[in-house]
Structure 1
């Protein structure tokens, strides 16, 4: 059996390599390199059918016929050469079922697998479709079909004139795209702009970059959120800028409150209310040790509305004004504040300088009166309080009456006193004849019969600040509560 199979292979090879049937392809020479045909070992040799074969029938050479005859004359019985050519099976082998279709001698399958062609190549070579039921089943590739397939791949056939005409028409109708890619530094400045010239579209940016940017913008949700926040912040900033420009036009200018009119806090208001409206009238509310003045609720209640101020409240407040000046000398004038008993003592028995001579010693005060800018003297006239000022800085004797009155006698007494004081303390002779004596005009006047003491204290307060008298009757309620708060805290503001 093996000898018969080998003989068939040699027969096919000798047939392909014979001089009479040598293939006309120069690429396959020399003939010794042509691989032998290959088929199943037990497959019968099909008879040649000219209608179904693309290659000429196999005609064995005389050498092959002679070798077959010699084999038949040997001592071993076997089939005759005619039986071999007639494809009769061997008598001592089981007959195999016939194949579904006649197989022709084909080329080596391994070479086709190297090129990964497989069944598709066989279908292409035979011109039949695997999926068409009307087409006959494909035949395996023979040696000739294999060579044709190789030549068709390496040397494609030239296109026909009809195909060239169709391709030209499609190129003329459909516009084509030219992509300009710059690889130098100008690539960073590329813009997504397109210039259309006829049927030619020129892009400055490659399509893959456009697709990448479009995909990134669509899918990057965080970037969209940040862009929204940036736009929102920018709109808010622009709104604030417009509001800042419009506020000065729609908002009235808020004037700064002068220091003498700073409103009291809620805590201060509550403290003053308890001090002025408590039940225990003898309760001590404040004790000023330097002047040894004790303020009880009974004394403090003189600061209620429609009450006359008493000497204790006035004298303690004047001491607090002096302490304020010593605490902040740069903000206030250098002043001296006589208490409510000074003028009474000076004129107790006519004019008596010796009665008040020791009141102003330098050891007691720490300074001389002649060095002060202003000296304030409270004047009490039975039921009315007035103020006299020795204005050394401006060389004036001033009289301030909240009812608009004038008393020249008071100014003459004070002029004589300051001459005696300077002569007694420094030995100098002071000429006050050239000084001006005036009743201050355009004073804020009281409009009732009980705020004269409060007006006098505010005259002293504003003059010690070197301020104009810019208050009136409507501020008296506030000044009473503020004075009570400063006495309770023992600190003038």
Structure 2
């Protein structure tokens, strides 16, 4: 062991010298063979006649060239002609200087492999004409880290690469929809198929993956549940709208005479009836020249008797309502509260009221009307007489339930004289029926007679039955006040 280590270490150090300046050691005993064969035996070119011994200058230059390229002796500087032919030779040094702590493993998989193996003569095992490969490169620490990073973290693709991938993405033919209106075959030789081609740009497996991911998403599931719940609720409401009229009784519509007042109307009526200035003008009706002050309008408060101004103005508003909507209301004439008193002032005086009903003044004749309303005031009580031309009868309406046949006979005589005076016709009105209206709504106190009379006229002008009662009087008073303030009957 000592001889081997001594010869190996000292020989590697001695060969690095430019010239052999020391005597060669003694050769090994003949009985022992060298462990390494001399390089000259591997090269067929060296097995021939050995070259002559080189001069010392040549040996010096060769040694200098070998030391400049790589440390240690080279095969070119020591040959078979060397005086140290019997010495054991070391393996040739690596072609490149070995970095510190760098792996020496040759990785052919990553294009870092060495050249192809050659014969002893220098030719390749595979091809004589193959180009020479570069010498193997040793991997240092920096190169090894760079290699590992390039494999584990590849560089992101550039936009050009992504565009090339998108262009190279294969198109998947999904379906061909034929057009029924166009001809499929033109001639026997030329066959043309016309239709719409649907091409899928995204592969089917990607669509299925996206669909499955959406199903697994909790937020999407909750949204789908909410949408489905809203859809079910909408369908349920539609079905309920169809079934609701069957299971619920039909709500009766409020008749027009009983439409409730709005909060704004209630506030206006309250301010008009309960204001401080009693002489304030609240309404002025120019056609009849009637002025309504707060003191006059306050007769519409509860437990108050109605006065002539309020009654006459309301009758004029009923006539204007008829003129606005002639198809909705009967054609009527409304005498004021002074007509009957003037007619019977001298017992019976037609000439006293003859000019009250001229056609020039009214625009129509009384014979053309359906009903004629005559308010009758008896000291402290209001009643109503009706000349029903359509039904050919005279009617008397008293909210206390009494009957006045004398008033009906006076009105029958007046109507005969009026028709004869205005149109020259002779009618037998005295033979018409004279009656008191049955099932008449009656008052239950001593101050609502005037309001009952106005509602008799209102309902009859609408051609409606008298379907109100004492419980509606409070509402009728506020509604009448509102219509007077607005100068428009509803």
TM-score tier by shorter-chain length is 0.5 to 0.7
Tell me which of 349, 352, 358 is aligned to 1:352: 349
Q: Which residue does 2:209 correspond to in 1?
A: 214
Structure 1 residues 483 and 147 mapped into 2: Cα distance closer, same or farther (>3 Å)? same
Are 1:492 and 2:484 an aligned pair? no
Q: Distance in 2 between matches of 1:327 and 1:116?
A: 104
Contact 1:44 1:89 in 2 (8 A): no
Count of aligned positions: 356
Tell me which of 300, 306, 311 is aligned to 2:297: 300
CA deviation map 1:346-405 (0-9, x unaligned): 111211111111111111111111111110001112222111111111211111111222
Q: Which residue does 1:435 correspond to in 2?
A: 432
Structure 1 residues 377 and 146 mapped into 2: Cα distance closer, same or farther (>3 Å)? same
Are 1:366 and 2:358 an aligned pair? no
Structure 1 residues 242 and 73 mapped into 2: Cα distance closer, same or farther (>3 Å)? closer
Q: Distance in 2 between matches of 1:485 and 1:414?
A: 33
Q: Secondary structure at the match of 1:437?
A: strand
Structure 1 residues 96 and 362 mapped into 2: Cα distance closer, same or farther (>3 Å)? farther
> What stretches of structure 1 of length at least 5 have no aligned partner?
1-42, 49-56, 103-111, 123-139, 149-182, 189-207
Q: Secondary structure at the match of 2:346?
A: coil
* Length-normalised TM-score, structure 2: 0.61
> What stretches of structure 2 of length at least 5 have no aligned partner?
1-35, 60-75, 95-105, 128-171, 178-202
Q: Which residue does 2:285 correspond to in 1?
A: 288
Tell me which of 311, 318, 321 is aligned to 1:321: 318
Structure 1 residues 114 and 431 mapped into 2: Cα distance closer, same or farther (>3 Å)? same
Q: Distance in 1 between matches of 2:90 and 2:176?
A: 72
Q: Which residue does 2:91 correspond to in 1?
A: 99
Q: Which residue does 1:258 correspond to in 2?
A: 255
CA deviation map 1:117-154 (0-9, x unaligned): 875998xxxxxxxxxxxxxxxxx575999569xxxxxx
Alignment map for 1:95-174 (pairs within 5 Å): 98-99=90-91, 146=125
Task: State the shift of 1:461 in Å.
Answer: 0.5
Are 1:237 and 2:234 an aligned pair? yes
Q: Distance in 2 between matches of 1:448 and 1:384?
A: 12
Q: Secondary structure at the match of 1:393?
A: coil
Alignment map for 1:43-82 (pairs within 5 Å): 46=39, 65=48, 68=49
Task: State the shift of 1:296 in Å.
Answer: 2.2
Structure 1 residues 211 and 364 mapped into 2: Cα distance closer, same or farther (>3 Å)? closer
Alignment map for 1:388-407 (pairs within 5 Å): 388-407=385-404
Tell me which of 380, 397, 402 is aligned to 1:383: 380
Task: State the shift of 1:451 in Å.
Answer: 1.0
Task: State the shift of 1:466 in Å.
Answer: 1.3
Structure 1 residues 340 and 215 mapped into 2: Cα distance closer, same or farther (>3 Å)? closer
Q: Which residue does 1:133 correspond to in 2?
A: none
Are 1:268 and 2:260 an aligned pair? no
CA deviation map 1:66-96 (0-9, x unaligned): xx27x66999xx99xxxx9x9536469xx99
RMSD: 4.4
Contact 2:40 2:80 in 1 (8 A): no
Tell me which of 445, 448, 453 is aligned to 1:451: 448
Structure 1 residues 248 and 295 mapped into 2: Cα distance closer, same or farther (>3 Å)? same
CA deviation map 1:198-237 (0-9, x unaligned): xxxxxxxxxx733552245427979768745643542342
Q: Which residue does 1:171 correspond to in 2?
A: none
Q: Secondary structure at the match of 1:394?
A: coil
Structure 1 residues 236 and 118 mapped into 2: Cα distance closer, same or farther (>3 Å)? same
